[in-house]
């Protein structure tokens, strides 16, 4: 089977080390490997979501976990514009 990360496009930005991703799930005898090339964050996140779904996670659980990460990040690093609006209140 051809490894998608071994195929190159000739574009140094797309073929760079940050553009190659491989997710691996090992559960006993079962291994799920998902490899791809991409440089766009939304596409990388979408591929990670697809990997988790392929591992058996429910889509609602994956989306809920993503929202949890966003909420935690926003509580640690509030946006500058929201900090200004809370000062005005």
Cα separation, 23 vs 51, whole angstroms: 7
Q: Report domain extents, the chain.
A: 1-56, 58-89
Task: Please tell me which residue, 78 or 7, carries the higher pLDDT value.
Answer: 78
Does the pLDDT of residue 61 top 90, yes or no?
yes
For the whole model, what pTM was predicted? 0.66
Q: Judging by DSSP bridges, how do beta strands 20-27 and 30-37 pair with one another?
A: antiparallel
Structural tokens at position 12: 């140094």
Does the pLDDT of residue 49 top 60, yes or no?
yes
Q: Can you name the residues that pair with 24 across neighbouring β-strands?
A: 33
Query: What is the pLDDT at residue 2?
Result: 47
pLDDT in tens, 3-46: 545 445 555 555 566 688 899 999 999 999 999 888 888 999 99
3-state SS, residue 10: coil
Cα separation, 88 vs 82, whole angstroms: 10
Can you count the helices (H) and strands (E) in the chain? 3, 2
């Amino acid at each position: 089977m051809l490894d998608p990360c071994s195929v190159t496009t000739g574009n140094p930005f797309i073929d760079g080390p940050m553009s190659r991703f491989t997710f691996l799930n090992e559960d006993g005898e079962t291994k799920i490997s998902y490899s791809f090339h991409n440089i766009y964050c939304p596409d990388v996140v979408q591929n990670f979501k697809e990997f988790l779904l392929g591992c058996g996670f429910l889509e609602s659980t994956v989306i809920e976990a993503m929202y949890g990460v966003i909420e935690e990040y926003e509580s640690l690093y509030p946006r500058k514009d929201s900090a200004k609006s809370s000062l005005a209140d």
